[in-house]
């Protein structure tokens, strides 16, 4: 069986879709609760109140982890026909893996987004959050895109050398066919 890992740019696209969808829910609610002052650029408070804490941190965490648990992907990843699987078994991850993976997002952010950028250079296209949660993001076997995926046998990492991988733009591989 060949595993096709989802590259950096496809994952960026999926993240943008997810962020827009979350924003469509969170920001109208924040406006309804806090009014125009919530969006004032001179307001430097990180959290405006309890409702803001729930809207900005708790709700997204619960929504994302639930999507992962029930669909093995967020809406953005579903759109690009990708899913998150256990890095060793390629099966659905366990609950602890989803939670650790989500917490790993914060580590990726704290490191000035290096944890996310790592996806572009890793053979299995894993970010820090993937490595911590022992997960990989792969294309769903049902639909195979023409390009943009790194391929490798399931039991071993990609055969590309570091020189070959660095010669390509991050997250893009040569077309298959």
Please give the order of strands across the beta sheet that includes 149-153. 82-86, 135-139, 2-6, 149-153
Query: Which pLDDT score, from 0 to 100, does residue 43 have?
Result: 85
pLDDT in tens, the chain (177 residues): 689 999 999 999 999 999 999 999 999 999 999 999 899 989 888 898 999 999 999 999 999 999 999 999 999 999 999 999 999 999 999 999 999 999 999 999 999 999 999 999 999 999 999 999 999 999 997 434 445 555 555 544 444 433 334 334 444 444 444
pLDDT at 94: 97
CA nearest neighbour of 81 among 6, 161, 135? 6
Contacts by residues 68-71 (CB-CB < 8 Å, ≥ 24 positions apart): 68/93, 68/98, 68/101, 68/102, 69/95, 69/98
pLDDT score of 141: 76
pLDDT of residue 149: 52
pLDDT, position 152: 59
Q: Measure CA 89 to chain center.
A: 19
Q: What is the pTM of this model?
A: 0.77
Task: In whole angstroms, give the CA distance from residue 137 to residue 139.
Answer: 7
- Give the containing element (helix H, strand E) for 2: strand 2-6
Q: In the chain, helix, strand, coil percent, each to 5?
A: 55, 10, 35
Give the pLDDT confidence score for residue 46 in this predicted structure.
84
């Amino acid at each position: 069986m060949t595993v096709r890992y989802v590259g950096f740019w496809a994952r960026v696209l999926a993240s943008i879709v997810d962020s827009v969808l979350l924003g469509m829910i969170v920001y109208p609610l924040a406006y309804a609760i806090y009014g125009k002052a919530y969006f004032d650029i001179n307001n430097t408070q990180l959290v405006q109140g309890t409702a803001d804490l729930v809207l900005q941190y708790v709700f997204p965490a619960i929504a994302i982890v639930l999507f992962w648990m029930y669909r093995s992907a967020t809406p953005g990843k579903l759109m690009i026909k990708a899913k998150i699987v256990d890095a060793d078994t390629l099966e659905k991850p366990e609950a602890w893996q989803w939670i650790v993976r989500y917490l790993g997002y914060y580590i990726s952010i704290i490191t000035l987004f290096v944890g996310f950028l790592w996806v572009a250079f890793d053979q299995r296209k894993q970010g820090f959050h993937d490595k911590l949660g022992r997960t990989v993001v792969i294309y769903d076997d049902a639909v195979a895109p023409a390009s943009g995926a790194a391929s490798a046998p399931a039991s071993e990492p990609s055969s590309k050398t570091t020189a070959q991988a660095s010669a390509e733009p991050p997250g893009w591989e040569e077309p298959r066919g």
